[in-house]
Chain A
Amino acid sequence: MKRNVDIKSMKYEDFNDNEYIEQMLKELRENGTNVIVGCLDDVIEWGRSNSLWPLTFATSCCGIEFMAIGAARYDFARFGFEVARASPRQADFIMVAGTITNKMAPVLKRLYDQMADPKYVVATGGCAISGGPFQKSYHVVNGVDKIIPVDVYIPGCPPRPEAMLYGLMQLQRKVKAQRFFGGVNKSISEKEYEKLMREDTNKAEDNRDYDESGLA
């Protein structure tokens, strides 16, 4: 069956950089989908993409703009993002708003690991994308994609709220283009992912010396 990704608030041709999502759709169509599963997929993804819950995570300047899109003027509730969660266990995507430093990097990785699948990452602002103005610093990670996989990049320093909304709508499109049934949202296969997870858990159980103070 033929599938497309439509976002109600914006016309299809108004989105830029479509190749990535087009590619996903093409793969989807070429592999073929069962009608029943496809219909179910459509319904589930319609629901998922319109109720993406962000994690309230902000390290610096971009966090204030993140608050601004939560407030009345820009109001991301119109797109279904308004339920910002303080716990990673309940969040669907993490908006990395601000610089990630070397000390923060393990914490961010842990937050990401604590989130339930399917999960997404939005790198907001120059710092999260590449280190931004602090690229040459001794204590700044040059891009969060070195630590966790990133789905959407929103450039700016800080990006305007409109840019953030646009980026989040791109994320909605990506969610819609995915298959919900048949695999978690990972670039690696399900088996590999499980193996990694098992290794992680076993390691922690054997040593018992990990820092429990940061557990949410």
Chain B
Amino acid sequence: MENNTAIKDRITAIEPAAVWSEAGDGLFKVPAASFRHLAEQLRHAEGFDFLRSLTGVDEGEEGLGCIYHLENTGTGENVAVSALDTDRENASLPSVHDLWKGAGFNEREAYDFFGIKFIGHPDLRRLYLRDDWKGFPLRKDYDMSLNPLNMENEEANDDSPSYVMTKDGGYILKRHPLFEDQEYVINIGPQHPATHGVLRFRVSLEGEIIKKLDVHCGYIHRGIEKLCESMTYPQTLGFTDRLDYLGAMQNRHALCMCIEKAMGLEVSDRIRYIRTIMDELQRIDSHLLFIACLSQDMGALEVFFLGFRDREKVLDILEQTTGGRLIQAYNRIGGVQADIHPDFVKKVKEFIKYMRPKLQEYHEIFTGNVIVQQRLEGTGVLSREDAISFGATGGTGRASGWACDVRKRHPYGVYDKVDFKEIVLDNGDCFDRYMVRVKEIEESLNIVEQLIDNIPEGEYLMKTKPIIKLPEGSWYSAVEGSRGEFGVYLESRGDKSPYRLKFRSTGLPLVSCIDTISRNAKIADLIAIGGTLDYVVPDIDR
């Protein structure tokens, strides 16, 4: 983390019990009892308003706890704080959902995986697994045989438990109903063409106005983070492509970067150029698919075909070099799998020339359409404060006026050498979320154009040891994925497989804010809101 020195003294002043731990990126270890006080101070006095990532950890003897990665969006300062509770049976931490709204879903995730009770959290249900699931799967002592395949239909559990602090320092479990008896609740998903996968909403309606929305995740939760703990580092790479499959390059880039940072390996300029170009091509691919899917959801089937027509051109270029259409498996620790194809430069230039005028076609057919404008303009407004508080990065955040591009905030690859604009719009409605992405295609074309002629000579794969072992410590690195900040938190105990590997999902903050922005919208607008938020469900569920 970049600006740790200045913040160190200030944190020690707020909380003398906080201990600085040097290993890896470095983080503050705070006792669970004094964590809430520190969090409040950091949020209100120090202005750390963006919770980048919340990671549950099982530290064995040291107990269970969470690691909070915070950022001050004004000054760009970063800090990581960890809070552990030594009592494994009844692990509990104070909830920070009121300080950062994005913590709400993340704490539910940590409860689901580790069984950490967050005191004061209003709705501490499991997020991914079934309510009748036994045990907590990401704990190191979890027994796989506890939960055989259960073919009984899941019961709809309508009350949400919460743990409330009592005066004597303990806590009691309270349950309150999620929906009232009189409410009209309809179910959307998990099998629904407009939820972009297997996401499930339960929507409380009054007429056709949405009063409350409850998101159910986990229908495609594959337990990737747990699987990674038993794999060697090169083996873990394979899973990143399958998280957000429309950002396969970028996801893998993030994990490779994190491992390389931990190894202290500098990659050659050629690798950084190739990775950057590939990331941008992938972004174009993803945004084209976004337009295609949004238009299909809204009934404009022609644009679906246009989007796929142009997307195939990108896939052809990627396939020629990497051999894969959707899942490329291209980045490797210390470089890329193979050198670029001899025709790569020529093909990319042809594509840039082809794509620019085609964008005009989308504007003529789709953007300018009256129906599209009426359905998108003014619906699903997400304010800038909410976007930061929820951590809704990517196109969604930028449409709300928050300059949250990781390429600008923490440049990686060769983004510091290229000249590109960060598209930021102010309205925060569905139309702006759409426009941000269309304009980003143009920007991505600009970036690729600047780089494609200047790829330097050099190695495409650095030499690494056959067995990769990382030193002890923890690292966090992030890239700008196709739909927001994709972060990787890596904790190593000096072994050849990670002790804990957490992927900061780009989609989870997006679905956590969907309740806020769709309230008082019409039920039909939910489709447009979901379409423009552009989440990918396997990335949310991991």
Residues of A near any B CB (own CB < 8 A): 56-61, 63-65, 67-68, 71-73, 86, 88, 98-99, 101-107, 109-111, 133-134, 136-141, 146-147, 157-158, 160, 210-211, 213-214, 216
- Do A139 and B223 have beta carbons less than 8 Å apart? yes
Task: Please state if A73 and B308 are interface contacts (CB–CB under 8 Å).
Answer: yes
Assess A137 versus B220: contact at CB under 8 Å? Given A59-B538, A67-B308.
no
Residue in A closest to B312 when the chains form the complex, CB atoms: A73
Interface SS majority for chain B = loop
CA distance in complex: A61, B242 (Å): 7
Query: Is there contact, CB below 8 Å, between A107 and B219?
Result: yes
- Whether a CB of chain A sits under 8 angstroms from the CB of B221 is yes
Q: Can you name 5 A-B pairs with beta carbons within 8 Å?
A: A57-B191, A64-B326, A101-B218, A102-B150, A139-B221
Bound-state CA distance A9–B144 (Å) is: 48
On whether the beta carbons of B144 and A138 are closer than 8 Å, the reply is yes
Bound form: Cα–Cα A152–B130 in Å: 30
Q: From B198, B227, B230, B325, name the one whose CB has the most chain A CB atoms within 10 angstroms.
A: B198
Cβ of A187 to closest chain B Cβ, rounded Å: 19
A106 and B238 form a contact (CB under 8 A): no
Q: What chain A residues lie within 8 Å of B144 (beta carbons)?
A: 138
Q: A59-B538, A103-B130, A139-B222 are in contact. Are A133 and B147 (CB under 8 A)?
A: no
Task: Please name all residues of chain B whose beta carbon is closer than 8 Å to the beta carbon of A88 when the two chains form the complex.
Answer: 191
Residue in A58, A73, A133 whose beta carbon sits within 8 Å of that of B242 in the complex: A133
Contact of B198 among A59, A72, A140, A160 (CB under 8 A): A59
Interface size on B, residues (CB 8 A): 51
Q: Which residues of A contact B242 (CB under 8 A)?
A: 60-61, 133
Q: Which 6 A-B pairs have the closest CB atoms?
A: A71-B308, A137-B223, A213-B187, A61-B245, A60-B538, A104-B219
Shortest A214–chain B CB gap in Å is 7
Q: Which residues of B contact A67 (CB under 8 A)?
A: 292, 308
Give the distance to chain B from A172, nearest Cβ to Cβ, in Å: 24
Q: Pick the residue among A99, A146, A157, A158 that contacts B222 (CB under 8 A).
A: A99
Assess the A104–B198 pair: CB atoms within 8 A: yes
- Could you say which of B154, B191, B224, B289 contacts A111, with CB atoms under 8 Å apart? B191
A59→B245 CA distance, assembly (Å)? 12
Given A104-B220, A137-B222, A216-B191, A61 and B538 touching (CB < 8 A)?
yes
In the assembled complex, the Cα of A104 lies from the Cα of B128 at a distance in Å of: 11
Q: Given known contacts A60-B538, A73-B312, A103-B130, is B245 in contact with A146 (CB within 8 Å)?
A: no
Report whether B197 and A133 are in contact in the complex, using a CB–CB cutoff of 8 Å.
no
Q: Which residues of B contact A147 (CB under 8 A)?
A: 151
Which B residues are in CB contact (< 8 Å) with A109?
151
- Flag whether B181 is at the interface (Cβ < 8 A): no
Closest A residue to B246 using CB positions: A64
Q: Are A107 and B305 in contact (CB under 8 A)?
A: no
> Is the Cβ of B187 less than 8 Å from the Cβ of A107?
no
Give the residues from 316 to 335 in chain B that come closer than 8 angstroms, CB to CB, to chain A.
325-327
Contact with A along B138-160 (1 / 0, CB 8 A): 00001010010111111110000
Q: Out of A72, A99, A102, A146, name the residue touching B147 (CB < 8 Å).
A: A102
- Alpha-carbon separation in the docked complex, A56 to B156 (Å): 25
Measured CA separation A112–B64 after assembly (Å) = 41
* Across-interface contacts of B149 in A (CB, < 8 A): 102, 105, 141, 146
Q: Is the CB of A211 within 8 A of B191?
A: no
When C-beta atoms are compared, the residue in chain B nearest to A158 turns out to be B326
Least CB distance, A190 to chain B, in whole angstroms: 24
Q: By the criterion CB–CB under 8 Å, are A86 and B192 in contact? A: yes
User: A58 — which chain B residues lie within 8 A by C-beta?
Assistant: 197
* B219 CB contacts on chain A under 8 angstroms: 59, 101, 103-104, 107
Tell me which residues across on chain B come within 8 A of A60, comparing CB atoms: 197, 220, 242, 245, 537-538
The reply to whether the CB of B234 lies closer than 8 angstroms to some CB of chain A is no
Known: A102-B130, A134-B223, A214-B187. 14 other contacts (CB 8 A): A59-B197, A59-B220, A60-B220, A61-B326, A68-B312, A101-B218, A106-B151, A107-B219, A136-B230, A137-B227, A139-B137, A139-B222, A160-B325, A216-B191
Q: Is B190 an interface residue (CB 8 A)?
A: yes
B129 and A139: CB pair below 8 A? Answer: yes
How far does the alpha carbon of A211 sit from the alpha carbon of B153 in the complex, in Å?
7
B202 within 8 A of A: yes
CB-CB contacts below 8 Å: B147-181 with A: 147, 149-156
Return B229 CB to nearest CB of chain A, in Å. Answer: 11
B5-20 to A contact mask, C-beta < 8 Å, 1/0: 0000000000000000
The verdict on B114 contacting chain A, using a C-beta distance below 8 Å, is: no
Contact of B245 among A64, A73, A105, A210 (CB under 8 A): A64
Do B154 and A103 have beta carbons less than 8 Å apart? yes
Rounded to whole Å, the gap between the CB of B178 and the closest CB of chain A is 12
The answer to whether A107 and B223 have CB atoms under 8 Å apart is: no
A110 contacts B222, C-beta separation under 8 Å: no
- The CA-CA distance from A151 to B372 in the complex, in Å, is 41
**Closest Cβ of chain B: how far from A72's Cβ, in Å?**
5
- Residues on A with C-beta less than 8 A from B224 are 134, 137
Q: Chain A residues with Cβ under 8 A from B289's Cβ?
A: 64
Nearest chain-A residue to B151 (Cβ)? A106
Shortest distance in angstroms between B101's beta carbon and chain A's nearest beta carbon?
Answer: 26
B351 CB, min distance to chain A CBs, angstroms: 15
Q: Indicate whether A103 sits within 8 Å of B129 (C-beta atoms), given known contacts A61-B242, A133-B242.
A: yes
Nearest chain B CB to A155's CB is how many angstroms away? 14
Query: Given the known A-B contacts A72-B305, A101-B219, A213-B202, are A138 and B239 also in contact in the complex, defined by CB atoms under 8 Å?
Result: no
A109 to B131, CA, bound (A): 19
